[in-house]
Structure 1
Amino acid sequence: MSDILTVTLNPTVDLSTSAPSISAGPKLRCTTPKADPGGGGINVSRAIRFLGGDSTAFIATGGETGARLLRLLAAEGVKFTAFSVTGDTRQSIAVTDSGTGEQYRFVMPGPYWNADMVDEALSAIDSAAARDGIVILSGSQPPGVPVDFPARLSNRLSSHGGRLFVDTSGEPLHLLVREPANTSVLRMDDVEAEDLAGRALPTRLDTADFATSLVERGIAENVIIARGADGSTLANSTGRWHCSRAVDPAEVVSAVGAGDSFVGAFSLALARDEDIVDALKFGTAAASAAVITEGTDLCSAENVARFLPGCELTTL
């Protein structure tokens, strides 16, 4: 059993392609699509695999698309445990306009879950998680899954010392902030943080102050806020730090996968008993490595090693 279990309730087969130009009306002749296994937790497990680590991906799958998803994961050597759901696993499509470089992303909702599926999934995740291990809940929730699912999962895991890392958005994130669920790590991006704060967070200190306020309220032991190209800010009861990305803006191709690469590297470092500040730096290097790749590609160990020395750590 792996020390890291990633959880993807709403996985997807990500299709990426390009067209000479994109406009409404005419048929758009696209290049041969590339298919990748997708969804927050899956991409975290893939990033961990690319970095030489080990995890198990808990995946809710259904139908022919779900079967294809599992084949894609097996081809990459990612370990997984499949949880069967009613309905077909979704697909998502990313189309790049070759003329402008702009990318259009079409994301489907996924199959509907009933209450029995939710309860069965909670029990299955609890059984699959390592005692005192790390469980990463990342990505969107399918229709029908209650917004308090992260809190329910946290309660299950706390009985055997499991550490829950949550990277979510929308109403589930808002509920976690209104009703703390004793998570170990809560990660969000700057847009989500500003939405929660009800104000702009233009500087690193603004971001650190807001993250600290969440820690002081008991929302999570560690709060991480990604500031886009500027890097990520981390706050806990012992301090606040910012780590900047080390990538030349001219090298940036796509921001897709940067967050999942960060979470994968950050979690892998903690699973290896590294200091949380070193984990922040490793995660930032992985995010830097991800933005220079095309489409749904993630970080590579080679590029993480290249960027790591240049990721500047600052105490706030």
Structure 2
Amino acid sequence: MGEQTYEELVEPYRRELHLHCYRMLGSVTDADDVLQEILLAAWRGLDSFKGRASLRTWLYRIATNRCLNAIRDGKRRPPAEPLPPFEPPEPSRRGDVTWLQPYPDALLDELLVRRETIQLAFITALQRMPPRQAAALILVEVLDFPVAEAADLLDTTPTAVKGALQRARASVRTPAAPRDAKTERRVAERFAEAFMADDIATITTLLTDDAWLAMPPAPHEYVGPSAIAAFLEASASARISTLVLEPAGANLHPAYSCYFVNGSHRTDTGQLVLTVSGDRISTITRFLKPL
């Protein structure tokens, strides 16, 4: 089968397979790498594809197993812990999903994605599950594969898939209240203005009582407005460049690209993603890039 024909066959599924890999692996970088493995494996195995299942189902079989292999073989290794250029306060706790990365909203434009299946809380919960449990949840609850078909994709029994689903559902947070997009945007904009101005008092008023700050790939997490404020104060006191935030949606959250600006020099320092609950911010996830 010619190369052009192969490209035409798989191209309609490329983006959804990439998103599937991201849900499984929690990292866009890892999803990029594994997607290339999937496309190569599909190319090599195309002659053996007998059409007993749909092409989409066959591709998801390859994709799911490649992701499970990547996790099993240790390819999803946590990145090195970055060293902050200041002495941070003692964290409230240490996070365990330090490989987590944001997923750009721009990559979701052509896909119909339920918001709760891409938000950071859900992606993080998937990373903490046993991998095959996470795969069962994604295949059945997110991608709407029947239990029997998911069992076939995972080379197991429907009974085993049902058991995995029961355990996985217990690990996923209860869905948040319906989204008020106007309020969410207003809260995020107030936060961004205060963050750029180092107005920590205003930031504190925007936080829920149990708000927390995470900073992948650093494991440090700060819980509660006081702990978050202490960290932000330490960070602001050490800054020598102007901090600029620019809107850049990720995981269907309000999100900002972060830059340090010093004269004409501009340094990309990662992304900041907000979870808004009602009219307050419940989670700040500051995805760091090494300086």
Q: Structure 2 length as normaliser, TM-score?
A: 0.29
Give the structure, 1 or 2, with the largest relative contact order (CA under 8 Å, sep 6 or more).
2
Larger Rg: 2
Name the structure where strand makes up a greater proportion of residues: 1
Whichever structure has more helix as a proportion of its residues is: 2
TM-score, reference length from structure 1: 0.27
